[in-house]
């Protein structure tokens, strides 16, 4: 029987159940655990607990990463597949660190790249820096406090669904060696076919990150930053099928789902279908 550790990290900026932080709880309310059990998946749920608000946004966010890393590591040791349900994308730093596999490629579905640093943005939105932190571009000293962390080589990062990216960001991504299947106006052909070209050519372990605003808002609005030109549900499932056909996912993080947005439960349904596809159908 397949065993899954559902790790609840329901925080936005370290504040519990605020905005996208409500997404993990809503997925559980919508029957995620029951959906997995229908596929004979044994589930165990871990909640990261209270994050002290006195630490400030940066301190709280990195405490979430630390707790995610420890819980993922414990799940791996217990023979369970780590499924991280997070408010913010930057919890991926903890997921990756907790795996203990620094060379594993990361396939990142997202309407954005989260590849900013404090030196090239002015709005200060910490969750736009998750992938940059993961690849060692910023917050290096804080990242070292995350158990098991070592920077991901950006050449092992594959984006799918990112769109409407400014030229300076595209240039930084290109210089870093990141691979990408763009959405929006730069999309050419089916997402799954384009992603298949970028996937490892032989059986390999991978990590999958699913930011729900990779989904086109015509199907449902994942969060306030969702933009047109994203994947449909069929696109996402076809992409996951391509990944499963040639790779073994070691873990899955699902993030950035705000159920209060228009069509919020539709996004939740897509998330649950994607999770069961990735988790229950893996070898």
- According to DSSP, residue 186 is labeled G
| Buried b or exposed e, range 148-187, using 16+ CB within 10 angstroms | bbeebebebbbbbbbbebeeebbebbeebebbbbbbbeeb
**Mean pLDDT of the region 64-68:** 98
Q: Residue 202: its pLDDT value, please? A: 74
Range of the domain at 103: 2-280
Would you say residue 42 has pLDDT above 70?
yes
Provide the percentage of residues in the chain whose pLDDT is more than 70. 99
For residue range 108-121, what is the model confidence (pLDDT) as tens digits? 999 999 999 999 98
For the stretch 159-212, pLDDT in tens is: 999 999 999 999 999 999 999 999 998 787 899 999 999 998 777 899 999 999
Quick check: 283 pLDDT over 60?
Answer: no
Q: Tell me the backbone φ, ψ of residue 4, rounded to 5 degrees.
A: -130, 135
Q: How far apart are CA 265 and CA 245, in angstroms?
A: 29
Q: How confident is the model at residue 123, as a pLDDT?
A: 81
The end-to-end CA distance of the chain, in Å, is 11
Going by DSSP bridges, is the β-strand pair 204-211/41-47 parallel, antiparallel, or unpaired? unpaired
Report CA dihedral (187, 181, 128, 136) to the nearest 10 degrees.
Answer: -150
User: CA-to-CA distance for 123 and 105, rounded, in angstroms?
Assistant: 30
Mean pLDDT of the chain: 95
Residue 225 · residue 237 · CB < 8 Å: no
Domain containing residue 205: CATH number? 3.40.800.10
Tell me whether strands 15-16 and 11-12 are parallel, antiparallel or unpaired.
antiparallel
With CA atoms as reference, report the closest residue to 156 among 203, 207, 110, 193. 207
Q: CA angle at residue 209 from 206 to 212, to 5 degrees? A: 150
Number of domains, the chain: 1
Centroid of chain to Cα 122: 24
Rounded mean pLDDT of 75-82? Answer: 98
Mean pLDDT of 265-278: 98
Query: Alpha carbon 91 to chain centroid distance?
Result: 8
Dist. CA 248–CA 208, nearest whole Å: 10
198-250 per-position pLDDT tens digit: 998 777 899 999 999 999 999 999 999 999 999 999 999 999 999 999 999 99
> In the structure encoding, which two tokens stand for residue 3, read together?
């065993």
């Amino acid at each position: 029987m397949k065993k899954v550790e559902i790790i609840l990290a329901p925080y936005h900026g370290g504040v519990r159940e605020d905005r996208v932080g409500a997404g993990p709880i809503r997925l559980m309310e919508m029957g995620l655990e029951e959906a997995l059990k229908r596929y004979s998946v044994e589930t165990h749920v871990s909640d990261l607990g209270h994050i002290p608000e006195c630490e400030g946004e940066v301190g709280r966010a990195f405490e979430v990463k630390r707790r995610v890393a420890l819980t993922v590591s414990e799940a791996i040791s217990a023979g369970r597949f780590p499924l991280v349900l997070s408010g913010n994308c930057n919890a991926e730093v903890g997921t990756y660190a907790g795996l203990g596999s620094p060379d594993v490629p990361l396939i990142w579905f997202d309407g954005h790249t989260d590849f900013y640093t404090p030196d090239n943005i002015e709005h200060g939105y910490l969750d736009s820096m998750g992938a940059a932190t993961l690849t060692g571009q910023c917050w290096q000293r804080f990242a070292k406090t995350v158990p098991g962390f070592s920077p991901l080589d950006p050449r092992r990062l594959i984006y799918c669904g990112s769109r409407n990216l400014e030229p300076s960001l595209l240039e930084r991504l290109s210089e870093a060696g990141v691979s990408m299947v763009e959405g929006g106006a730069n999309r050419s052909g089916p997402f799954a076919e384009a992603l298949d070209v970028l996937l490892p050519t032989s059986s390999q372990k991978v990590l999958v990150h699913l930011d729900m605003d990779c989904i086109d808002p015509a199907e449902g609005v994942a969060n306030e930053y969702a933009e047109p030109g994203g994947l449909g549900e069929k696109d996402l499932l076809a992409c996951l099928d391509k990944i499963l056909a040639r790779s073994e996912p070691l873990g899955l993080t699902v993030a950035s789902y705000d159920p209060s947005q228009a069509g919020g439960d539709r996004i939740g349904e897509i998330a649950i279908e994607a999770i069961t596809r990735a988790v229950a159908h893996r070898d």
